[in-house]
C-alpha cells in the first residue's frame, strides 16, 4: 500500500501539493487572490523542515508585514507541532537589519548602528544641504529626500548613480548631496530605513566571502507578495538565490500581478518577468481554485479586474463547495454619515446574530475615512481596532491640530500650547523653551503669558522672537474672528496662517497628502458641531472611550493594509469618483494610476469570504458646504448579475441626484427619507423617520451624545439632558426619537 501522506499535505489540492513538493530549483507561483499562495508557502516551509532538507535557520522567508511574519511563524509551528525557533522569517527590512548587524563594518558602520526615524533623517539632510549652501526655499529638502529614497529603492549607492540617473535638482548637485548625506550617516554610525536593503545588497555585491557564507546557509528562499517587491529587494533576493550550482537555486516566490498596489513606493511588477529571465527553467505553477470567497464575490472581482490591460492572465474559479452565496451588495446613501450609520447598524445586527466581530472589516481607500466609522462604532459601543495605522484622533497631525484648537478655545491650556509652540519649527531652542517654562512657573501664569513676556524682555534671538510674536498675535486675531466667522472657518484659517498646513504641504513623503486629507476631515467633523467647545468636549469623550479590552473587534484599515488578509464580512465604503479611484492616482498616474486603483478594488473585494458590501454616498461635506459625489466608475464595471443594488435605483438614483442643482446647500440631514431594506440575515431596517417635532419629555438618541431626554424645545433646537454627556443644546435634526 502507498505510504500514508502527512496530514499537512492532504489539506492541499494537487496543484498546491505540486508547488509544495517541488522543493528544488526555482519556482514561481503566479495565482489570483485566495488560491492558497500563502498556504502553499507556509506548508512548503514546514515540509522542508519535516523532510529534514534543512534546519530551521537555513530557510529564508520574506513576508510583507510583521503581522504576516507572526502568522506564518505560528502556522509553521502548528504543522511542526512545536515552536519554531531561530527562523530567518520576517519583512525585507527586519531581515536586512539582522544581517547588517553582522557585517556593518563593510559599509563603515559598527554593529550597534542606529536606525533613524523620518524626523531625524530630515534634520540630517537639512544640515547637509545647509552646509552645501543650497537654497532650501528654492530646493525643498523634502524633494531631495524623495530622490534619495527612489535611488535607494533601486539599489543605487551614490557611486552607482550614473549621470543618466542623476537629476537636475539644485543645479545638478543631487548626487553630491546624496553622497554627503551618506557620509554624515556613517559618521553618526547610523542608517536610514532605505539603507538596510541598500547596504546589504552592496555588501553581497562586493564581498564574495559574505555572499558565499549566505549561499551555504540559505538552502531555501521563500517570498510572499512577490508582485510588490521593488528593485533593490529583487537584487538582494537574486544575489542570495543565485548559488554557484544552478541546481541548488531553491527560491520560491508567490504573487499575483493583479494585486500589485505599491508602485508608488517603488514596487516593480516587472520583477515577475525578471524572475523567469534570471532563473531560466523555473517551474511556474498556476493555482486556479479560490478557497476564500463565494462564487458571486469571486465573479464580481474577476469581472472588475478584467477591465485592466496588460495582465499576465490567470483563471480563477470557485474552489469551495458551499460557494453559492449572496451577491455583492452595492448600497447608495445620501452622505457619509448615513453611510457610517448603515455600516454600523449592519454590524450591530450581525453582532446580535452571533457573528464574530473579528470577522468583520471596513476597508477604506484613504485614511481620513476611518473617522466617520470610528465615531459610529464608539456611539454604538462596538469595539474596533485600526490595523496598520492609528485611530483618527491619535494621528500626529490631528493631535497637533487639536492642540491649536484647544489653545484657541482656552489660551491657558499649557499642554496644548507646549505641543504647538514650536510646531512647525519656529526656531525656539531648548533654552528658550526652558526660559518660558521657568517664567511661567515663577509667576504662576500660563505658558502663553510667559511667551509674551519672553518676547518683551528681548531674551530671544530676532528670528524666533518674530515667529513667536506672529503666533501669539495670530491667536489674538483668530479668537476675535470667532464670533464673526464661525469656528469652522476660523479653524481652517488658523491652520493655514500658523504655517501648520504648509508644513505638510512642503513634506514630500508619501504619507503627507494623507495627513492633509485628515486635516480636512477634522474640519468636516468640526462642522458637525455648533461650537468649538462642544467639539473639543466630544473628542475628549471619544478619546476616553478607548478602553484596551481584549476580545473580538471590528477591523478598520486601508485597502493597502488589507493585502493578504481575509474576513467573513467586508465593507467597502466611499466608492466615489475622486475618492476611489483616488484623484491623486489619476492625476499623477494617468491610465496606469487608474489600473492600480482597479487592482486595489480587486484586492478589496477578494478579502471577503461571504459578505461584501460596497457603498457610496451621493454627498460629501467639504468644510461646512456640501458637494455632490459621482458614484465610482468601478461600480459600473462590476458584472451586473453578481451585484444586488440596494437603496432605490442605486447608482442610477445617486447619479441622478448628484446633479448639483438638485440640492440646496443645507440639504442633507433634514430631508432624509426613511428607507426600509428588506429583512434578511444581513439586512436591517433603518431607524424610523423622525417625527416633525420632538416634544419635551421625549427620550431621544443623538449621534454623538447617546441617549437623553428632551427638557426644552424651541424652533429647531432642543435642550437635552443626556445620560452620559449631561445637558446639551443640540439641533433637532441631529436627534431621533429613541
Q: How far is the CB of 556 from ligand ATP (least distance, A)?
A: 19
Which helix or strand (DSSP H or E) is residue 334 part of? Answer: strand 328-335
What DSSP line would sit under 585-645, residue for residue? Answer: HHHHHHHHHHHHHHHHHHHHHTTEEEEEEEEEEEEEEETTEEEE-PBPHHHHHS-GGGEEE
Q: Which does 167 bind (CB under 5 to 8 A by kind): Mg ion, ligand ATP, none?
A: none
Q: How far is the CB of 390 from Mg ion (least distance, A)?
A: 25
Task: Report the first-to-last Cα separation within the chain, whole angstroms.
Answer: 70
Produce one character per residue of 77-89: b if its CB has 16 or more CB atoms within 10 Å, e if not.
eebeeeebeebbb
Q: How many CA atoms lie within 13 A of 507 on its CB side?
A: 21
Which helix or strand (DSSP H or E) is residue 301 part of? Answer: helix 295-305
Sites for ligand ATP among residues 548-567 (CB under 6 A): 564, 566
Sites for Mg ion among residues 23-62 (CB under 5 A): 37-38
- Non-local (6+) Cβ contacts of 245 within 8 A are none
Integer Cα distance of 162 and 121 in angstroms: 24
Beta strand 328-335 with 608-622 is parallel
Integer Cα distance of 524 and 534 in angstroms: 14
Integer Cα distance of 714 and 699 in angstroms: 16
Q: How far is the CB of 37 from Mg ion (least distance, A)?
A: 5
Query: Whose Cβ is closer to ligand ATP: residue 113's or residue 571's?
Result: 571
Binding string, residues 630-649; x marks residues near Mg ion by CB under 5 A = --------------------
Q: How far is the CB of 183 from Mg ion (least distance, A)?
A: 41
Max intra-chain CA distance, the chain: 96
Contact (CB, 8 A) for 170 and 177? yes
The stretch near Mg ion (CB under 5 A) out of 76-84, 562-570, 585-593, 640-648 is 562-570
36 is in an annotated binding site: yes
Which helix or strand (DSSP H or E) is residue 30 part of? Answer: strand 27-30
Is residue 259 among the annotated active site residues? Answer: yes
Q: How far is the CB of 390 from ligand ATP (least distance, A)?
A: 25
Integer Cα distance of 408 and 473 in angstroms: 12
**Of positions 173, 219, 292, 346, contacts ligand ATP by CB under 6 A:** 292
Q: How far is the CB of 258 from ligand ATP (least distance, A)?
A: 9
Q: How far is the CB of 27 from ligand ATP (least distance, A)?
A: 15
Which SS3 state, helix, strand or coil, does residue 200 take? helix
34 is in an annotated binding site: yes
Q: How far is the CB of 734 from Mg ion (least distance, A)?
A: 43
Query: Whose Cβ is closer to Mg ion: residue 96's or residue 565's?
Result: 565
Is residue 224 among the annotated active site residues? Answer: yes
Query: Whose Cβ is closer to ligand ATP: residue 33's or residue 125's?
Result: 33
Contact (CB, 8 A) for 252 and 174? no
Query: Whose Cβ is closer to Mg ion: residue 37's or residue 611's?
Result: 37
Is residue 329 among the annotated active site residues? Answer: no
Integer Cα distance of 179 and 94 in angstroms: 25
Query: Whose Cβ is closer to ligand ATP: residue 68's or residue 145's?
Result: 68
Query: Whose Cβ is closer to Mg ion: residue 225's or residue 597's?
Result: 225
Q: For ligand ATP, which residue has the nearest CB? A: 36
Integer Cα distance of 365 and 374 in angstroms: 15
31 is in an annotated binding site: yes
Integer Cα distance of 629 and 615 in angstroms: 12
Query: Whose Cβ is closer to ligand ATP: residue 215's or residue 563's?
Result: 563
Sites for Mg ion among residues 564-603 (CB under 5 A): 564
Binding string, residues 222-261; x marks residues near ligand ATP by CB under 6 A = ----------------------------------x--x--
The stretch near Mg ion (CB under 5 A) out of 14-22, 72-80, 255-263, 559-567 is 559-567
Q: Which does 464 bind (CB under 5 to 8 A by kind): ligand ATP, Mg ion, none?
A: none
**Of positions 16, 65, 229, 558, contacts ligand ATP by CB under 6 A:** 16
Integer Cα distance of 425 and 421 in angstroms: 8
Give the ranges where 444-552 is alpha helix by DSSP (H): 447-457, 462-485, 487-497, 500-506, 512-527, 532-544
The stretch near ligand ATP (CB under 6 A) out of 35-43, 163-171, 237-245, 653-661 is 35-43
Contact (CB, 8 A) for 271 and 312? no
Contact (CB, 8 A) for 331 and 647? yes
Is residue 38 among the annotated active site residues? Answer: yes
Integer Cα distance of 668 and 6 in angstroms: 61
Q: Which does 466 bind (CB under 5 to 8 A by kind): Mg ion, ligand ATP, none?
A: none
Catalytic residue, candidates 192, 224, 521, 577? 224
Backbone angles phi, psi at 410, to 5 degrees: -150, 90
569 is in an annotated binding site: no
Q: How far is the CB of 358 from ligand ATP (least distance, A)?
A: 14
38 is in an annotated binding site: yes
The stretch near ligand ATP (CB under 6 A) out of 28-36, 72-80, 346-354, 673-681 is 28-36
Binding string, residues 600-629; x marks residues near ligand ATP by CB under 6 A = ------x-----------------------
Query: Whose Cβ is closer to ligand ATP: residue 37's or residue 538's?
Result: 37
Is residue 37 among the annotated active site residues? Answer: yes
Query: Does the footprint of ligand ATP cover residue 35 (CB under 6 A)?
Result: yes
423 is in an annotated binding site: no
Catalytic residue, candidates 73, 292, 465, 607? 607
Q: Is 93 left (phi over 0), alpha (psi -120 to 50) or beta?
A: alpha
- Non-local (6+) Cβ contacts of 15 within 8 A are 285, 286, 287, 288, 289
**Of positions 106, 169, 193, 291, contacts ligand ATP by CB under 6 A:** 291
Beta strand 283-285 with 27-30 is parallel
Q: Which residues are annotated as a binding site?
A: 31-38
Q: Which residues are annotated as a binding site for ATP?
A: 31-38
Q: By the criterion CB under 5 A, which residues form the site for Mg ion?
A: 37-38, 564
Q: By the criterion CB under 6 A, which residues form the site for ligand ATP?
A: 11-13, 16, 33-39, 256, 259, 291-292, 564, 566, 606
List the catalytic residues.
Answer: 37-38, 224-225, 259, 607
Amino acid at each position: 500500500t502507498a505510504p500514508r501522506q502527512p496530514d499537512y499535505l492532504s489539506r492541499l489540492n494537487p496543484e498546491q501539493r505540486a508547488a509544495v513538493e517541488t522543493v528544488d530549483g526555482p519556482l514561481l507561483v503566479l495565482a489570483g487572490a485566495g488560491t492558497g499562495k500563502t498556504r502553499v508557502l507556509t506548508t512548503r516551509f514546514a515540509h522542508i523542515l519535516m523532510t529534514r532538507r534543512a534546519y530551521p535557520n537555513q530557510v529564508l522567508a520574506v513576508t510583507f508585514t510583521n503581522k504576516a511574519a507572526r502568522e506564518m511563524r505560528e502556522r509553521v509551528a502548528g504543522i511542526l507541532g512545536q515552536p519554531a525557533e531561530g527562523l530567518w522569517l520576517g519583512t525585507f527590512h527586519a531581515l536586512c537589519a539582522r544581517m547588517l548587524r553582522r557585517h556593518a563594518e563593510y559599509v563603515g558602520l559598527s554593529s550597534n548602528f542606529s536606525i533613524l526615524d523620518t524626523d531625524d533623517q530630515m534634520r540630517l539632510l537639512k544640515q547637509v544641504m545647509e552646509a552645501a549652501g543650497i537654497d532650501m526655499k528654492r530646493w525643498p529638502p523634502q524633494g531631495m529626500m524623495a530622490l534619495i529614497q527612489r535611488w535607494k529603492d533601486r539599489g543605487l549607492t551614490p557611486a552607482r548613480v550614473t549621470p543618466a540617473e542623476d537629476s537636475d535638482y539644485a543645479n545638478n548637485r543631487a548626487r553630491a548631496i546624496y553622497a554627503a548625506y551618506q557620509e554624515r550617516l556613517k559618521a553618526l554610525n547610523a542608517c536610514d530605513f532605505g539603507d538596510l536593503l541598500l547596504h546589504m545588497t552592496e555588501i553581497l555585491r562586493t564581498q564574495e566571502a559574505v555572499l558565499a557564507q549566505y549561499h551555504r546557509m540559505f538552502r531555501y528562499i521563500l517570498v510572499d507578495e512577490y508582485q510588490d517587491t521593488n528593485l533593490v529587494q529583487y537584487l538582494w533576493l537574486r544575489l542570495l538565490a543565485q548559488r554557484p550550482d544552478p541546481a541548488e537555486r531553491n527560491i520560491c516566490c508567490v504573487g499575483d500581478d493583479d494585486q500589485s498596489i505599491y508602485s508608488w513606493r517603488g514596487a516593480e511588477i516587472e520583477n515577475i518577468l525578471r524572475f523567469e529571465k534570471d532563473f531560466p527553467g523555473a517551474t511556474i505553477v498556476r493555482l486556479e481554485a479560490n478557497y476564500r470567497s463565494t462564487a458571486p464575490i469571486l465573479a464580481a472581482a474577476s469581472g472588475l479586474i478584467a477591465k485592466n490591460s496588460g495582465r499576465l492572465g490567470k483563471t480563477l474559479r470557485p474552489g469551495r463547495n458551499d460557494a453559492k452565496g449572496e451577491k455583492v451588495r452595492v448600497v447608495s446613501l445620501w452622505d457619509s454619515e448615513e453611510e457610517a450609520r448603515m455600516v454600523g447598524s449592519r454590524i450591530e445586527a450581525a453582532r446580535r446574530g452571533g457573528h464574530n466581530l473579528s470577522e468583520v472589516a471596513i476597508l477604506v481607500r484613504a485614511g481620513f475615512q476611518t473617522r466617520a466609522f470610528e465615531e459610529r462604532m464608539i456611539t454604538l459601543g462596538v469595539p474596533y481596532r485600526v490595523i496598520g495605522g492609528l485611530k483618527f484622533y491619535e494621528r500626529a497631525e490631528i493631535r497637533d491640530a487639536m492642540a491649536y484648537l484647544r489653545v484657541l478655545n482656552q489660551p491657558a491650556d499649557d499642554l496644548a500650547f507646549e505641543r504647538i509652540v514650536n510646531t512647525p519649527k519656529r526656531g525656539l531652542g531648548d533654552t528658550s523653551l526652558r526660559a518660558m517654562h521657568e517664567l511661567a512657573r515663577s509667576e504662576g501664569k500660563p505658558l502663553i503669558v510667559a511667551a509674551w513676556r519672553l518676547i518683551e524682555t528681548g531674551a530671544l534671538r530676532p528670528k524666533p522672537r518674530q515667529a513667536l510674536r506672529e503666533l501669539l498675535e495670530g491667536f489674538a486675531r483668530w479668537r476675535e474672528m470667532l464670533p464673526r466667522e464661525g469656528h469652522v472657518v476660523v479653524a481652517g484659517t488658523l491652520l493655514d496662517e500658523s504655517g501648520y498646513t504648509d508644513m505638510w504641504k512642503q513634506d514630500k513623503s508619501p504619507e503627507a497628502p494623507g495627513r492633509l486629507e485628515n486635516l480636512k476631515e477634522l474640519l468636516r467633523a468640526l462642522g458637525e458641531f455648533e461650537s468649538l467647545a462642544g467639539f473639543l468636549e466630544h473628542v475628549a469623550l471619544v478619546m476616553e472611550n478607548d478602553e484596551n479590552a481584549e476580545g473580538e473587534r471590528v477591523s478598520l484599515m486601508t485597502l493597502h493594509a488589507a493585502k493578504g488578509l481575509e474576513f467573513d464580512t467586508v465593507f467597502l465604503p466611499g466608492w466615489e469618483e475622486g475618492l476611489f479611484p483616488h484623484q491623486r492616482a489619476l492625476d499623477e498616474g494617468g491610465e496606469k494610476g487608474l489600473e492600480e486603483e482597479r487592482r486595489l478594488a480587486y484586492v478589496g473585494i477578494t478579502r471577503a469570504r461571504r459578505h461584501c458590501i460596497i457603498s457610496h454616498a451621493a454627498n460629501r461635506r467639504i468644510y461646512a458646504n456640501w458637494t455632490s459625489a459621482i458614484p465610482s466608475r468601478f461600480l459600473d464595471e462590476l458584472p451586473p448579475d453578481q451585484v444586488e443594488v440596494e437603496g432605490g435605483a442605486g447608482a442610477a438614483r445617486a447619479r441622478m441626484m448628484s446633479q448639483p442643482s438638485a440640492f440646496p446647500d443645507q440639504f442633507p440631514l433634514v430631508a432624509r427619507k426613511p428607507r426600509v431594506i428588506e429583512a434578511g440575515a444581513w439586512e436591517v431596517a433603518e431607524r424610523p423617520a423622525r417625527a416633525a417635532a420632538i416634544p419635551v419629555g421625549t427620550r431621544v438618541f443623538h449621534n454623538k451624545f447617546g441617549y437623553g431626554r428632551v427638557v426644552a424645545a424651541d424652533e429647531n433646537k432642543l435642550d437635552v439632558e443626556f445620560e452620559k454627556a449631561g445637558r446639551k443644546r443640540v439641533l433637532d435634526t441631529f436627534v431621533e426619537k429613541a
